[in-house]
Amino acid sequence: MNPPRFNSRRLLAGTAAFALMALMIPAAQAQASAAYPNKPVKLIVPFPAGGGGDTLARLVMLRAAKELGQPIVVENLGGAGGNVGSAAAAKAPADGYTLLYGTNGTHAINHAIYKSTGFNAVRDFEPVTQLTRIAAMVVVRPTLQVNSMAELTKLLKANPGKYTFGSAGNGTTSHLAGEIYKSRAGLAVVHIPYRGGAQAMTDLMGGQVDMMIEVMPNAAPQAKSGRVKPLAVTTATRVAGWPDVPTIAESGLPGFDVSAWDAIFVPAGTPRPIVNRLNEAIHKALADPELRAQLQSRGAEVAPGTPEELAKHIAANMTLWGDAVKRSGAAVD
């Protein structure tokens, strides 16, 4: 039997076709990136509607939509401290038409506190830009007979296991901030997790739970209206929009410093020109004085940056919050 004949002409033709395709794919991607966006963009907010994160996401990204020239449609996919919506976003096409609103919860805390999140914060996403740094506020039900942070700590210490603190859910910033406070002050307070900050805040206002350490976008409006009593903020320094509210650090727990942050991400593999386009639009939105004032009134300080800066920030937060989780003993199956 003769060996098969080597068809060099066919091989050359195939090689040429492959090379042409290799050239066409980047060209097609570049063309799509240049036209981006040419249809509405979906923003997945992995928390229930009406909470602090949802409010911030809408404030910033609906303003950014004006810079993009296309509507941004918000889809709330809450559950598991933000893991459900984040995992869904990770599986979306990498074309810039699905964005994720992420936080220190979804991209740091959850990976230390949950056995499985359903996504990888580093491998599954391209960072776009950080939006803000966010203080949390200690608030109590209106009928609780305390008027300062020191009085609250004294009351809780004298009554172990009698009082409750609500949170936006297991593994959220409000949960972990409460656990850190308990650990630092040597308290026994019962944790009541909810499915989102809005539900927890509603029960706090109604007196079903006694206290909460919630991010300020959710807590500040209720404190301003008198529906809850503000006692302290969790950052190292006082919040500009609330200068009369002291810090936990100056109220008996020196060195206490806990803050949240939020950011925008796209699925891994999204072309860099699209990432840059989104970054530019969001930065322009955050430069709007009216928007900055709205954010500041909610305890959120504008903190835009590059994708590379956000990537470094996430790496540092993985260590920071991971250590905090270990110290607190908090865990979610």
Output the pLDDT for position 109: 92
Is the N-terminal amide bond of 307 cis, ω within 30° of 0?
no
Nearest-angstrom CA–CA distance, 115 and 109: 12
Q: Cα–Cα distance between 303 and 129 in angstroms, integer? A: 9
Residues 215/134, Cβ–Cβ less than 8 Å: yes
Closest CA to 271 of 235, 296, 307, 242: 307
Per-position pLDDT tens, the chain of length 333? 555 555 666 656 566 556 566 565 555 555 657 789 999 999 999 999 988 889 999 999 999 999 999 999 999 999 988 999 999 999 999 999 999 999 999 999 999 989 899 999 999 999 999 999 889 999 999 999 999 999 999 999 999 999 999 998 877 889 889 988 998 999 999 999 998 888 999 999 999 999 999 988 889 999 999 999 999 999 988 998 899 999 999 999 999 988 889 999 999 999 999 999 999 999 999 999 999 999 988 888 899 999 999 999 999 889 888 887 887 777 776
CB neighbour class for 25 (10 Å; exposed up to 12, middle 13-18, buried from 19): exposed
Q: Is 177 exposed, middle or buried (0-12, 13-18, 19+ CB in 10 A)?
A: buried
Helices 52-68 and 272-286: angle between axes, nearest 10 degrees: 110
For 31-83, write each residue's pLDDT tens digit.
657 789 999 999 999 999 988 889 999 999 999 999 999 999 999 999 988 99
Q: Domains of the chain by range and CATH?
A: 40-134+259-328 (3.40.190.150), 135-251 (3.40.190.10)
Radius of gyration of the chain, Cα coordinates, nearest whole angstrom: 24
**Residue 240 burial (CB < 10 Å; 0-12/13-18/19+)?**
exposed
Full-model pTM: 0.74
